[in-house]
Amino acid sequence: MAAGLEQGRSAHRKGWKNFFWKVHKNKTFLLMLLPGTVLMLIFNYLPMAGTLMSFKKMQFFSDNIFTNFMESEWVGLKNFEFFFKTPDAFRITRNTVCYNLVFIFVGLVAAIALAIGLNELISKRLSKIFQTTFMLPYFLSWVVVSYIVYSFLNPESGIVNRMILPALGIEPISWYTELAPWPYLLVFLNLWKYTGYNSVVYLAALSGIDQELYEAASIDGAGKLKQIIHITLPHLVPVMTILTILSMGKIVQGDFGLFYFATSQLGNGALKPVADVLDTYVYQTLMNTGDLGMSAAASLYQSVIGFILVLTTNLFVNKLNPDNALF
């Protein structure tokens, strides 16, 4: 028995010795990782302590947020109960999930199509010009975009009502009170803003495809369409899969800037049935009630569902093709 204990201690010492040897061997890489790790811990993990607000009825006794947190009443799951009992819970969740599903899949097709189109341009200089042009909307704030949209859709002086619709013989539309066009407008705005930026990842993947494959296919008589179907798209599948898995984690997170600023220029809330998502609900709950607990509960609900969806989607992909999974 004593010999066994000694062997165990010896193996333990060897394990630590091996660990420190690996640290010393890779110290350069570990030092490179250190700043990013510290920032991630500070900005990603430290604030997670705030999720405990979801289980408290936050009250303000002083200007010190920590004192308020410690002295507030623990209410368990009552904040979540409030969210699920609200009559708008189903509508808000439905809007968030449905919009994001459309954004993910339509955005995926648009980004791939744009990347392939830019990659097929003979003039690389022209390709760079188009690429820069398509990326510009991504760097515009949604506040700025909302005013651009308003200049087009203003019921009285907008370009659409004053110039385009009369030319087509169509009566002016009160855009900020009509619900029907907005699901399509929101999808269009999302595509306009993000497609150029998202296509950059696929352009990078396209540049890594061996050109000899295209030359061989061309010699065998394959046209551009067949080359795209049988060479380009199969090589893009791993990138498409990983980006889709990551996107699934955000399926219950609405784009706050898009849904809040682009639809609220007149400030009358008439578009809430089609533009209210979880992010805008959290913001409006906080602004209207000042209840941090209920807002934190809705945010935690988003995070937990997103985390579960990423794990589930990755598990599904792992079953189909382990090489394309995240882990």
What domains are defined for the chain?
A: 2-74 (no CATH), 78-324 (1.10.3720.10)
- The two tokens of residue 299 are 């945010």
**What is the gyration radius of the CA atoms in the chain, in angstroms?**
26
Query: Strand runs (DSSP E) across the chain, as ranges?
Result: 56-57, 73-74
Q: What is the pLDDT of residues 92-142, one digit of tens each?
A: 888 888 999 999 999 999 999 999 988 887 677 877 888 888 888 999 999
Q: How many CA atoms lie within 13 A of 175 on its CB side?
A: 26
Per residue in 204-263, pLDDT tens?
888 888 888 888 988 888 888 899 888 999 989 888 988 888 888 888 888 888 888 888
Q: What is the largest CA-CA distance in the chain?
A: 97
- Token pair of 211, please? 């050109």
pTM above 0.85, yes or no: no
d(CA 289, CA 37): 37
Nearest to 142 by CA among 263, 253, 261, 255: 261
